[in-house]
Amino acid sequence: MKRIFLVLVVLSQVALAGVALANTVTVDFSVLGSDVVDITTPNPGYTLNGITFLYDNFGTTDLPLPSAQVSHNGISGAYNGLLEFNFNNLAQSLNFHFSIDPAASYSVDNGLLISITNDSNDVYISGMSTQSDGTGVFSFTGDAFDQAAIYFPFNGEIFSVNNITYDPVPLPPTMLLLGSGLLGMAGWRRFRKS
């Protein structure tokens, strides 16, 4: 009976730690319903599923004014700006779909520049080209980061970003839970021997 209890304790500790370690977050834009939120500075941005989205048009007054909005379809906006994903907690992977000028029937070389940083230190920087229909998929897995920035240059009139998923870095309390369970089992075993 004691062995069954011990096995159940071990399995529950591993299961709890495993759930926290492998929890991919999908940004759910559908909660906005019919609302549209302007995320262009000086607006404070919009936080959803652990990411604050903000769009910086660098103070330009060119018309049409570059701006971005969050809606049930994702994020969309006008060209020549910087879309920021500010993560509430560290992340270790990021995936999203994007399009530049969806009416276009051509590919855009280096249609956007993506920078992944942690405490303002570069983790990853790359230019991304689109497919022949102006769309693309970005995928990054690597060192922990707390911000992703996407620069949309002049050669695309409008952009959209959706299907955003990310993997958070496992939280220290999860490791503490697993460690305390293992220490408890070791102590119980030592106590049982004496």
Residue 25 belongs to what H/E stretch? strand 25-26
Q: Which two tokens stand for residue 65?
A: 């004014």
pLDDT in tens, the chain (194 residues): 566 555 555 555 555 554 455 589 999 999 999 999 999 988 889 999 999 999 998 877 666 677 899 999 999 988 778 999 999 999 999 999 988 875 555 556 666 789 999 988 888 888 777 777 778 899 999 999 999 999 876 555 788 999 999 999 986 665 666 677 777 777 767 767 76
Q: Per the structure, how many domains does the chain have?
A: 1
DSSP 64: S
Whether 9 is covered by a domain: the verdict is no
pLDDT, residue 88, reads: 93
The number of CA neighbours under 13 Å toward the Cβ of 30 is: 3
For the CA atoms of 142, 143, 144, 146, the dihedral, rounded to the nearest 10 degrees, stands at -80
Q: At 50, which CATH number?
A: 2.60.120
- The domain in which residue 180 lies consists of 23-189
Specify if 13 maps to a domain: no
Residue 54 in domain? yes
* 176 domain-assigned: yes
- pTM reported for the whole predicted model: 0.75
What is the per-residue pLDDT for 155? 54
Instruction: Measure the CA–CA gap between 120 and 130, rounded to whole angstroms.
Output: 27
The pLDDT of residue 66 is: 76
34 in any annotated domain: yes
